[in-house]
Structure 1
């Protein structure tokens, strides 16, 4: 029997894997065994400051090398660098304009003092955006000026002015400066029809009016008005002609100037003069509404100057304008003012008619406040004419409307007017009863009424007034009958006297004929006697 040999033991290496070797994903190659150990190191490589220092060093190495000029640009302010760029480009005029504006702003701020509001606002050299915009447009304008393209120069200054109009209210003076520069640029235009100059004057006028310089605006708008004469083809952005725009703006400026002059009683003539100019401009191109408003102001001014006929003329124009535009409120104002003018002229009946139309229009338009004014005005007119019943009725309406509106000031005035009219109404009856002292005990009742204010005396007064009225009717009829009888007797006596005069005349004629015959006989007898002798 053969002997079985024993296999030798498998020798394992110290770091050999226990499992069969793994193959790689690429092909079927066997990955080599790991023969080295990984040693972990827990030592710190420097402190935190050292790591930051090394990081900054790497960042510095990545930065490019800077020249001396570039270093200065980083150190200087934005204003300084901007001015250097402008000067390096050769734009000396642009630099002067920007620098002068900044200096002027600082000067105004210093003059105002540290307690002024200007010290809370930013200065121009601290606003990079505005300086950048100024640099862009001013340098472009300087280039266009060298090329004698003054139309482009005007556009550059105009854009700058519009930009500073939209920034803030404190920059309006900068906008004014560039509007003036744009106007100066239009004066250098050659072979131009004058439209750009007209628009430049208009822009300066509008800006001057916004900042309150109305006198300066008036001068520029008058030039604008003259330049647009006989130019119907010049149409603005709104679709209206520039001539129409000039008329409207002049009307507004003249009205504002007249309002300021109206506060001084020594400038009343100038006040009327400017209002007349405003009406003329509105009549030329202001439209129906603006013409009506101007005529209303002019009419009130003439009425204040006691020229009621001229006032009524212009107030009629305002009334017609309100009727065209369906302005019920304005129509009521027109009727009220016209009634006042008619009352000044002594035409009380027409004044009452206009006030009644004022009340009717106010009632139709549901304007209770205007209706209260109309009733009060009617009451005042009737009270002045002595028609106290109608005055009391109108004042009562005004008082009730004021109570409905809950207007304390109007209520107090209406109450006072109602009391005055009621007192006037009772005065005539009261005085008649004072004269009736013959009635027994009447004076005692009158004194009691003054203490208690009862209705008995009023009722008795009314009855007495009715009796006196009937008595007056009787006496009037008797007087008329007597006058008629007297007239009849007078006519009869006159006829009798005429008849007597006729008889006397005939008798005188007969006597005269007889005397003539006697005279003739005497003459004949005297002749016969002489012949006998």
Structure 2
């Protein structure tokens, strides 16, 4: 079969030339040609260096790791190699294929590998000369560089490698790294770890009196994050009806907030403390704090803060039985939400509050109006849970209106024939 496919005059193997001179000249011409050339804009060519050739031929991981070894940075190589292994393990443990495909592996991202190499080698060089604060600074810079959500694990690693060092661990750079760690852990919901980092940061900042990279005192920064942390812990204590613990934590948060010189944080801590006093039955102390909140949020022109404060004041008035004042506060709160145009969820919640008051007073028409407003605000906010709640109340109140009208019609005297 195969023999039939061959042409009769077609050789099975290519002919071997007997002209040895031609072969020799051909080999010489090949050896004289450069292995790699770069064509310049003027049409001329230029030889590439070994490093440039390796840049194109090797993978990003190989290129960076070989450079580290060639330059004698063995500790930096070991650290980078460990990070690459950790990245592979994390990607392998990802629950879904889509999660693994969101970003390429670290070993394929040359720009990030180059940044890590740059700062790790600088840190290693600083350690060789005993410049421990410089080494910490380089690691802090790495932590700040990896701020994207997919790189948070790298940010945490470098911040910890800066803050937890035996030599340089009490430097300005290490203290700022602890402040950054506290922020990240708080965002991730690990409140206890955030608290540990923030308290250590505050202690070191008080001793050093340093400024962070933006020029802000590290002590104020740690006070700000601690205020948020204590308030978050207090919320958890209130959820478990541990009011004494919640009050103690809110007092700590309020104290930190007044020292951080940030009015937004101070207003939030003041409101939280007032709400805790309110839940404990101390409405007089709560009202004093709410008055302070009105001043702070009024100066900041914070519509959301003002609306929340008026809502809290309404609850205290309701507990004292002053329903006229309660409705005044709530209507002010709704007006503020409507004028700002950005507090739809809060407005919906407050309208539910007002509607329930009118419903308990059997003022069904007014209750229906506020429940309908709550439904509209919830629709604009896209809050499904609040929307469903308002929807049920609108329907039930509408039914009560029809029942009331039917009862009146039934009790009225019949028309004369």
Whole-angstrom CA distance in 2 between matches of 1:394 and 1:249: 43
* 2:135 matches 1:153: yes
Residue of structure 1 in register with 2:222 after alignment: 246
Residue of structure 2 in register with 1:456 after alignment: 412
Structure 1 residues 54 and 318 mapped into 2: Cα distance closer, same or farther (>3 Å)?
A: farther
Whole-angstrom CA distance in 1 between matches of 2:226 and 2:82: 33
**Partner of residue 321 from structure 2, selected from 334, 341, 348:** 348
TM-score, length-normalised on structure 1? Answer: 0.55
* 2:255 matches 1:275: no
Whole-angstrom CA distance in 1 between matches of 2:161 and 2:371: 62
Kept after mapping to 1: 8 A contact 2:355/2:371? no
Kept after mapping to 2: 8 A contact 1:312/1:342? no
Residue of structure 2 in register with 1:205 after alignment: 182
3-state SS of the aligned residue for 1:90? coil
Deviations 1:417-455 (A, max 9, x none): 58769999x9xxxxxxxxxxxxxxxxxxxxxx85x8257
Residue of structure 2 in register with 1:63 after alignment: 34
3-state SS of the aligned residue for 1:122? coil
The offset of 1:258, in angstroms, is 4.0
Deviations 1:34-82 (A, max 9, x none): xxxxxxxxxxxxxxxx99x9989635312379xxx99x97986553454
Residue of structure 2 in register with 1:183 after alignment: 163
3-state SS of the aligned residue for 1:453? helix
Q: What's the RMSD between the two structures over aligned residues? A: 4.8
**Partner of residue 151 from structure 2, selected from 149, 168, 171:** 171
1:187-336 to 2 correspondences below 5 Å: 187-189=166-168, 194-229=171-206, 234-236=210-212, 238=214, 240-260=216-236, 263=239, 265=240, 270-306=245-281, 308-336=283-311
Whole-angstrom CA distance in 2 between matches of 1:262 and 1:175: 33
The offset of 1:198, in angstroms, is 2.1
**Partner of residue 125 from structure 2, selected from 105, 125, 143:** 143
3-state SS of the aligned residue for 1:348? coil
Whole-angstrom CA distance in 2 between matches of 1:78 and 1:363: 59
Kept after mapping to 2: 8 A contact 1:272/1:298? yes
The higher-RCO structure (CA 8 Å, 6+ apart) is 2
Structure 1 residues 60 and 198 mapped into 2: Cα distance closer, same or farther (>3 Å)?
A: same
**Partner of residue 80 from structure 2, selected from 89, 92, 98:** 98
Kept after mapping to 2: 8 A contact 1:379/1:394? yes
Segments of structure 2 that go 5 or more residues without pairing to the other structure are 1-16, 37-49, 380-386
Residue of structure 2 in register with 1:359 after alignment: 331
Kept after mapping to 1: 8 A contact 2:136/2:174? no
Whole-angstrom CA distance in 2 between matches of 1:362 and 1:412: 21
Kept after mapping to 2: 8 A contact 1:137/1:157? yes
Tell me whether 214-223 or 308-317 shows the greater mean CA deviation.
Answer: 308-317
The offset of 1:310, in angstroms, is 4.7
Whole-angstrom CA distance in 1 between matches of 2:303 and 2:63: 65
Residues paired across the two proteins, number: 370
Residue of structure 1 in register with 2:114 after alignment: 132
Structure 1 residues 343 and 132 mapped into 2: Cα distance closer, same or farther (>3 Å)?
A: closer
Whole-angstrom CA distance in 2 between matches of 1:403 and 1:101: 51
3-state SS of the aligned residue for 2:72? coil
TM-score, length-normalised on structure 2? Answer: 0.68
The offset of 1:200, in angstroms, is 2.6
Structure showing greater Rg: 1
The offset of 1:147, in angstroms, is 0.8
The offset of 1:146, in angstroms, is 1.0
Deviations 1:373-403 (A, max 9, x none): 778756765776x7x6xx4674476368569
The offset of 1:97, in angstroms, is 0.8
The offset of 1:148, in angstroms, is 0.7
